[in-house]
Amino acid sequence: MELIDTEHPSQFNQGLMELGALVCTPTSPKCLLCPVREYCTAFNEGNPEELPVKTKKVKTKNLHYDVFVVQNEKDQFLLEKRPEKGLLANMWQFPMLEQTDIEEHTNEAKLADIYKLELINRDQLMSFKHVFSHLVWHMDSYVISAQQIGDAPDNSNWFSIEEMKELPMPVPMQKIWQKFNLNL
Ligand code: SF4
């Protein structure tokens, strides 16, 4: 702070900007001409060219999913538990399947096959995107009426509305659930 003139603080900023523009440029710092060389840690440690360290930009990944709010004749809902490790570990979600370019409604057939369901009715619910730090989920959600006709995977189960209140569900799933309840 002693370096900054209290009456003319802008001169300090101006000086710093000029130093950065003319002397201490990112790729070729002119240390021999530099007025602050004596106080410069990078110069004293002998590595001014290596600074600043550039962090690699991580590319955002976009994933597209169909999400199904599946309701049975007892007004229970089908949910599955996410894996123990990784993103949103151990949280509960509505069945979600990655979209493919092949055919519309392919995922409904997959849903029926994986969870052993007979699908009775389908309505579109909402589409939105949910942004994680380096990942974007594009979600198209549907409400499906269905009947269980076989054994569903071990990580899935049917829950009543009351039981669902106790389950940890990721934010995008909560959004879908709120929208579903608004439509009732
Ligand atoms: S001495 Fe330090 S501040 Fe000056 S040009 Fe070199 S690296 Fe930049």
- 21 and 111 share one domain: no
- The number of folded domains in the chain is 2
Residue 92 lies in a domain: yes
Note the pTM of the prediction, 2 decimals: 0.68
Output the domain CATH number for residue 44: 1.10.1670.10
- 73 and 131 share one domain: yes
| CB atoms closer than 10 angstroms to residue 137 | 20
Domain range enclosing 86: 61-182
Separation of CA 87 and ligand 1 centre (Å):
43
Output the domain CATH number for residue 143: 3.90.79.10
Residue 4 lies in a domain: no
Residue 115 lies in a domain: yes
- CA dist 37 and 46 (Å) reads 11
Segment-wise mean pLDDT, segments of 10 residues, the chain, 184 residues = 70 81 86 87 83 81 96 97 96 95 79 96 95 95 96 95 96 97 83
User: What distance lies between CA 8 and its chain's CA centroid?
Assistant: 46
The per-residue pLDDT for 6 is 74
The minimum-distance atom of ligand 1 relative to the CA of 30 is 5
Please tell me if the CB atom of residue 126 comes closer than 6 angstroms to any atom of ligand 1: no
Separation of CA 11 and ligand 1 centre (Å):
19
